[in-house]
Amino acid sequence: MTDVARVAGVSLKTVSRVVNGVATVDQELAERVHAASAELGFRANFAASALRSGSSTATIGLLIKDLSNEFYANIASAVAVVAKAHHTQLITAHSGENAEDELEAIFDLCRRRVDGLLIVPTGGDHSALKSEIDLGIPMVFIDRKPVGLAADSVVLDNFAGARDAATRLINDGHSRIGILVDTLNMATMRDRLQGVRTAFAEAGLALDDSLVVTNVRGPIEASIEVDRLLASSAPPTAFFCGNNRSGIGVLRSLWQRGTNEALVSFDDFQLSELMPRPFTVVRYDNRALGTISAELLFRRINREVFDPTTVVLPTELCDRGITGLRGPQPQASQRARCT
Amino acid sequence: MTDVARVAGVSLKTVSRVVNGVATVDQELAERVHAASAELGFRANFAASALRSGSSTATIGLLIKDLSNEFYANIASAVAVVAKAHHTQLITAHSGENAEDELEAIFDLCRRRVDGLLIVPTGGDHSALKSEIDLGIPMVFIDRKPVGLAADSVVLDNFAGARDAATRLINDGHSRIGILVDTLNMATMRDRLQGVRTAFAEAGLALDDSLVVTNVRGPIEASIEVDRLLASSAPPTAFFCGNNRSGIGVLRSLWQRGTNEALVSFDDFQLSELMPRPFTVVRYDNRALGTISAELLFRRINREVFDPTTVVLPTELCDRGITGLRGPQPQASQRARCT
DNA sequence: GTGAAAGCGCTAACAA
DNA sequence: TTGTTAGCGCTTTCAC
pLDDT at residue A333 is higher than 60: no
Q: Is residue B321 part of a domain?
A: no
Q: Give the C-alpha separation, A8 to A39, whole Å.
A: 10
Whether residue A171 is found in the same domain as residue A276? yes
What's the sign of the alpha-carbon dihedral A194, A199, A202, A205?
Answer: negative
Distance (Å) from CA B16 to C1' C13? 15
- Run of H or E including B165: helix B158-171
Q: Is residue B328 part of a domain?
A: no
- Closest CB from A96, A271, A327 relative to B248: A271
Chain A residue with CA closest to B259: the answer is A326
Which is nearest to B128 in space by CA: B106, B112, B145, B144?
B106
Whether residue A124 is found in the same domain as residue A109? yes
pTM over 0.75: yes
Residue A307 structural domain: 56-156+286-313
Q: Is residue A322 part of a domain?
A: no
Whether residue B26 is found in the same domain as residue B10? yes
Q: Is residue A50 part of a domain?
A: no
Whether residue B67 is found in the same domain as residue B212? no
CB B95 within 8 A of CB B118: no
pLDDT at residue B279 is higher than 60: yes
pLDDT at residue A291 is higher than 50: yes
pLDDT for B192: 98
pLDDT at residue A111 is higher than 90: yes
DSSP character at residue B338:
B
Say yes or no: Cβ of B51 under 7 A from any atom of strand C.
yes
pLDDT at residue B331 is higher than 70: no
CA–CA distances in Å: residue A313 to residues A19, A334, B68, B155: 45, 20, 20, 40
Summarize pLDDT for A301-311 with one digit per residue, the tens: 999 999 999 99
Whether residue B171 is found in the same domain as residue B277? yes
pLDDT for B203: 97
Summarize pLDDT for B214-246 with one digit per residue, the tens: 999 999 999 999 999 999 999 999 999 999 999
Which is nearest to B252 in space by CA: A274, A248, A336?
A274
Q: How much is the average pLDDT of A248-264?
A: 95
Q: What residues contact residue B204 under an 8 Å CB cut-off, 6+ apart?
A: none
Whether residue A136 is found in the same domain as residue A212? no
Whether residue B171 is found in the same domain as residue B214? yes
Say yes or no: Cβ of A21 under 7 A from any atom of strand C.
no
| B335 confidence band (pLDDT: 50, 70, 90) | very low
pLDDT at residue A145 is higher than 70: yes
Residue B228's domain is classified under what CATH number?
3.40.50.2300
pLDDT for A328: 46
Q: How much is the average pLDDT of B14-39?
A: 87
pLDDT for B329: 45
| A326 confidence band (pLDDT: 50, 70, 90) | low
Q: Where are the alpha helices (DSSP H) in chain A?
A: 2-8, 12-19, 27-40, 46-53, 70-85, 99-111, 130-134, 158-171, 187-202, 219-230, 244-257, 286-301
Q: Is residue B336 part of a domain?
A: no
Q: Name residue B240's beta-bridge partners.
A: B179, B264
Residues with CB under 7 A from strand D: A 1-2, 12-13, 16, 19-20, 43-45, 48-49, 51-53, 55; B 10-14, 17, 23-26, 29-30, 48, 51-52, 54
Say yes or no: Cβ of A47 under 7 A from any atom of strand C.
no
Distance of CA A11 to the CA centre of its chain: 49
Distance (Å) from CA B73 to C1' D1? 51
Q: How many residues does chain B have?
A: 339
Instruction: Give the number of domains in chain B.
Output: 3
pLDDT for B339: 57
Whether residue A107 is found in the same domain as residue A203? no
Q: Give the C-alpha separation, A74 to A97, whole Å.
A: 19
Whether residue A97 is found in the same domain as residue A112? yes
pLDDT at residue B325 is higher than 90: no
Residue type present at position B185: N
**Domain finish residue from A266, A284, A302:** A284
| A99 confidence band (pLDDT: 50, 70, 90) | confident
Which is nearest to B266 in space by CA: B214, B228, B216, B318?
B318
Q: How much is the average pLDDT of A63-88?
A: 96
pLDDT at residue A64 is higher than 80: yes
- DSSP character string of A207-248: --GGGEE----SHHHHHHHHHHHHTSSS--SEEEESSHHHHH
Summarize pLDDT for A19-30 with one digit per residue, the tens: 888 767 888 888
Distance (Å) from CA B220 to C1' D15? 68
Q: Name residue B139's beta-bridge partners.
A: B117
Q: Is residue A337 part of a domain?
A: no
Summarize pLDDT for B117-152 with one digit per residue, the tens: 999 998 778 888 998 898 889 999 999 999 889 999
Q: What residues contact residue A140 under an 8 Å CB cut-off, 6+ apart?
A: A116, A117, A118, A119, A151, A152, A153, A154, A293, A294, A296, A297, A300
